[in-house]
Amino acid sequence: MWNKKILIGFLVASASMVGATVADEAKEQAAVAKLLPSAKVTLSQGLAASESKGQPISGKFEVDEGHFQLSVYTAQGAALQEVVVDYTAKTEPLSEAYDLAAAKKQVAAMAGAQFKLLSESLE
């Protein structure tokens, strides 16, 4: 029923919503689940597209300001960025405290990982 790559993206999106109220989180998850079948790129494609901007450390489908998108956090040295993947990979530095804190935790988690986020073992 669910494509494994999409399900992983959905789980990452779900896990990364720390700090949101339970009601807000449920609303966000419902919106993402409704729009997920219309995704133009898979999580795997988004991770691959973002590699040119740094090492992908997390990826999530989300609704941001009414727009459905795939957001990938990347790390390149000390620089942490968000790559919004659509048909192009747009990059912007992470500047909000919440995003920076989440990305730093993800960098630490990936440092101890046995495989990259974009790995053949996920296929």
pLDDT score of 92: 81
Residues 93, 57 contacting (CB under 8 angstroms)? no
Segment 87-120, tens digit of pLDDT: 555 678 888 898 999 999 988 888 888 777 766 5
Residues 51, 5 contacting (CB under 8 angstroms)? no
Segment 79-91, tens digit of pLDDT: 999 999 875 556 7
DSSP class per residue in 104-115: HHHHHHHHT-SS
> Tokens at residue 7, please?
């399900």
* Cα Dmax for the chain: 39
CA torsion sign for 66, 90, 82, 116 is positive
**How far apart, in whole angstroms, are the C-alpha atoms of residue 38 and residue 35?**
6
Taking alpha carbons only, the member of 101, 97, 57 closest to residue 75 is 57
Residues 6+ apart with CB under 8 A from 17: 24, 25, 28
Sketch the domain layout of the chain as residue ranges. Answer: 4-114
E strand or H helix at 72: strand 67-76
Whether the per-residue pLDDT at 69 is higher than 80: the answer is: yes
